[in-house]
Structure 1
């Protein structure tokens, strides 16, 4: 069976790669668990920021398996989220950050006139198509304990006590006041707190 490429999306601000240790940890864990590689990649030595990149926020997309397949650089343009559509899939699997997002893209295509989706798996809240999620209960921000993908920003926020894990069922959604979508490109401070009513 051929190996599938995986990738990391790394935020670049003012020509600095952000949270590189988090991406490095996940990349090396993926290489070990998926393919049995035991060597450790130091991303600082493997990624060189092109001279052409300015100080604006950019996205560094590194695709890899036994070696780096390609590195792409793109100016980052944040999206505005006004509506989130619930979609359902009880067997969707994205435990590793696969380059092939066919299954997620098929779910995203079900969004109708919404800007983003919220994936419900076996009656449990997981992630959006591109982000991990957190919900505000009036006192603290809770993130689903069983996300589709363990994001690097999510790991950072948990480690710093800014969010807490919780089992969140679909039926619990209305009990929260706000939702945040965040990922490597959208840090906690830049993730807007959206009214829970944006979730359809």
Structure 2
């Protein structure tokens, strides 16, 4: 039986790979828990950035399993997200960053006229289809303590004290004024917030 494949998506800005400490932590945790591999990889040593990608903003995608499978670079074009829709799936599991995202994509297809979905599992807010989420309560940014996937940018923002994890239920949403998407490619401070009223049920 073939081992599953996993990915790390890393922000590459003007030749600099961002947040590698947290990418290394997640990658090596995945390798240990899912593949029974105990040696530690360092992405900074594995990734050689070609000259043509030294200027500008790119997405570096590392695909791996038992072995390093592929390293790709592509120009990053952020998606414009203005409206979100809640979708329910009480059985979804995505606790490692699998290359196969079919379960998430199936939920994303339920977005209707919105731009993306926010997934609800057993009444709790988890993630958007491709990002963690953070909500503004008027004094601080809080992020669900029940994410499907604990993202690297989310981990860094929690460590910096910018995000506070807490349980967020669907009925709690009206207590917030806005939501921001959080992932490795997005600069949190400059990512436009989405008003809570633009989340449909």
Q: CA RMSD in A?
A: 0.9
Number of the residue aligned with 2:191: 191
Give the alignment's TM-score, normalised by structure 1.
0.98
Kindly report structure 1 stretches of 4+ aligned residues shifted beyond 6 Å: none
In the alignment, structure 1 residue 10 sits paired with structure 2 residue 18: no
> Contact 2:140–2:163 at 8 Å: present in 1 too?
yes
Number of the residue aligned with 1:87: 87
2:139 and 2:3 map into 1 onto residues whose CA distance is 44
Which ranges in structure 2 are unaligned for 5 or more consecutive residues?
A: none
Number of the residue aligned with 2:112: 112
Number of the residue aligned with 1:160: 160
1:75-129 CA distances to partner (integer Å, 9 max, x unpaired)? Answer: 0001111110111100110100000000000000111111111000001000000
Structure 1 residue 54: Cα displacement: 4.2
1:169-198 CA distances to partner (integer Å, 9 max, x unpaired)? Answer: 011111110101010000211221211111
1:55 and 1:154 map into 2 onto residues whose CA distance is 26
1:7-50 CA distances to partner (integer Å, 9 max, x unpaired)? Answer: 00000001110111110110001000111101110111100001
Number of the residue aligned with 2:126: 126
Number of aligned residue pairs: give it.
Answer: 200
2:149 and 2:192 map into 1 onto residues whose CA distance is 21
Determine helix, strand or coil for the equivalent of 1:127: strand
In the alignment, structure 1 residue 144 sits paired with structure 2 residue 164: no
1:132 and 1:191 map into 2 onto residues whose CA distance is 13
2:161 and 2:172 map into 1 onto residues whose CA distance is 22
Determine helix, strand or coil for the equivalent of 1:79: coil
